[in-house]
Structure 1
């Protein structure tokens, strides 16, 4: 059984009611409640998003948006105007409902929710390192990760990836202009980012030279995922990827033994415990404070072990029928290490520039 990749709402979800996320936490067999009423039906190829339209981007460096956010009173600045690199960020699942297998990119309510959650408190981590591009896409509904009975869930994920791929092709053609690029995502977004690396970078040495690094956080990236792209061995390596799935210390999950796991407090792959003193600061979903030394970190058999934080804003995750998730801090994969990720992304860009001189 695979762990589902998603982020639960931290506050009011767009549909169908304010109390719906609570149902996810208390109902038995709740995954079935999220199953779309009808099977997947492939839309016409012409119905995909037009990425020449700015409305089909959740973040662009040429306008004000949620990716420009900064933690309050942290003394940070948005560096996109002068950044040497780009960031192509793919947001995680924010669509949970039964209406269809894939979200409508024109759903204004869903887009507002996406912007004020994952773009606000995840994509923003990269605004010191590069110009942030984040496409809207027909993301697969949450149930797609639970669908074991037929092809519907995978077809929904394939459609979502087709949009992400189209957005990246548009980005390369009209925005990139030969600049170095960070590929980043979380959960469903990181799963699509994995595929981008397969399709565009693994077998293309020219484009691969422009890859600063990929942040494949909260997905199932294996240590031998690619033919040429390897897990980053240290904090300044480029042309490589980092990945982790955060879990409470002491938990063991054999299906994850083969997964790549990076310690974001040391940016190494070893299994030594890094003390919380090395945590530059977690940032909760409302971005109102930076919690220095919020937790430690240690790689253990494909997982990233942490000691549960003593401050609020970094909850465990629980879903009936998936007891392993009681130990998961999946929703906090970014927020627990916000400042470390922010500083590391900028440092890797500087290392990439130095290496090209």
Structure 2
């Protein structure tokens, strides 16, 4: 049987299951992290050598080890920093051939807390310290590192949710900065019609090369066990192989490549793990009614982590991995289109 890819998020969610009861909204709200300190950056290029920048926010990698731990970790939390490095390797590196990558460490909400809350309560939790840090980091990046270059926003899961706050709040207040945005890859979190209606300055992607747009999808099997807790009603989806929004399937043979340890591999929780380009693994089809991206070419049983929070058939952990080289090519295509149109 094919071994399962134990993405770090899955491991953390499993270990956090014991604290799914009543949660304390505790954390470190208040003064934002100091991003003039290089130690508070996961990735900080010594100099910008490309025409385009990438600003990346990693997914949920922190979980409480005791019920008395805060729902939001400190920015120097060792678990969070180690997990961020692993997520960076699995995800942010997709963009390393496209632009200079800037990635802040940020105070983050506990894994189990985030998934067990209603959308409103999750917003109340994450719009404190996590959003404060993301806003402060992005503002510092724009003022001190960007120098007017066009940029791509990229995130996953909690990182994508916070990117949506940044798109709504920061870009709404700074239209001059928004004009520099090539695209926002807010993957692994739902972008809904309701969100766009409340933020008319934002648009969802329609094809492979439109710019100033949001790209989003949540991957799952055609049929799953239980409910996909990642997906919200009215979620919009674009196919990361064909870059269309219709329901026409894109075959695994059209996929430019997945990024995994091997078709029968296993990822130890170690940022030094060697990953490989795997061809012909994942297909993709938009299901607009469910608001998800359906992958039917992998075995849901073989790729199940055993985590009941993300049930069998939910491929949240593989949103980037399955379509890694498609994301890389698309980021390059959108960057080229932006540069050509704004040169």
Q: C-alpha deviations, 1:143-197, integer Å up to 9, x for none?
A: 2224449997544312211111111111111111111010110000000001111
Q: Match for residue 252 of structure 2?
A: 276
| Separation of aligned partners in 2, 1:318 and 1:300 | 25
Query: Between Structure 1 and Structure 2, how many residues are aligned?
Result: 316
Confirm or deny: 8 A CA contact 1:9 1:94 kept in the other structure: no
Residue 125 of structure 1 deviates from its aligned partner by: 0.7
Q: 1:153 to 1:344 in 2, by over 3 A?
A: closer
| Separation of aligned partners in 1, 2:144 and 2:39 | 16
Q: Match for residue 270 of structure 2?
A: none
Match of 1:207 among 174, 177, 184: 177
Confirm or deny: 8 A CA contact 2:94 2:327 kept in the other structure: yes
| Separation of aligned partners in 2, 1:125 and 1:349 | 14
Match of 1:143 among 93, 112, 119: 112
| Separation of aligned partners in 2, 1:23 and 1:208 | 34
Q: Match for residue 336 of structure 2?
A: 350
Q: Match for residue 204 of structure 2?
A: 231
Confirm or deny: 8 A CA contact 2:28 2:73 kept in the other structure: no
- SS of residue in 2 equivalent to 1:274: coil
Q: Match for residue 279 of structure 2?
A: 292
Q: C-alpha deviations, 1:221-241, integer Å up to 9, x for none?
A: 114533122111111110111
Q: C-alpha deviations, 1:121-160, integer Å up to 9, x for none?
A: 1111111111101110110011222444999754431221
- SS of residue in 1 equivalent to 2:152: strand
Confirm or deny: 8 A CA contact 2:90 2:321 kept in the other structure: yes
| Separation of aligned partners in 1, 2:119 and 2:278 | 44
Alignment of 1:124 onto 2:114: no
Query: RMSD in angstroms over aligned alpha carbons?
Result: 3.1
Alignment of 1:10 onto 2:10: no
Residue 60 of structure 1 deviates from its aligned partner by: 1.2
Residue 203 of structure 1 deviates from its aligned partner by: 5.7
Q: C-alpha deviations, 1:55-102, integer Å up to 9, x for none?
A: 101111228xxxxxxxxxxxxxxxxx5311111100000001242111
Q: If the length of structure 2 is used for normalisation, what is the TM-score?
A: 0.82
- SS of residue in 1 equivalent to 2:195: coil
| Separation of aligned partners in 2, 1:96 and 1:23 | 7
Match of 1:267 among 233, 243, 251: 243
Confirm or deny: 8 A CA contact 1:317 1:328 kept in the other structure: no
Residue 277 of structure 1 deviates from its aligned partner by: 1.3
Q: 1:235 to 1:195 in 2, by over 3 A?
A: same
Q: Match for residue 49 of structure 1?
A: 33
Confirm or deny: 8 A CA contact 2:94 2:325 kept in the other structure: yes
The one of the two structures with greater contact order (alpha-carbon pairs below 8 A, sep at least 6) is: 2
Confirm or deny: 8 A CA contact 2:60 2:111 kept in the other structure: yes
Alignment of 1:39 onto 2:24: yes
- For structure 1, the 5+ residue unaligned runs are 1-7, 14-19, 64-80
Matches within 5 A, 1:81-100: 82-97=49-64, 98=66, 99-100=69-70
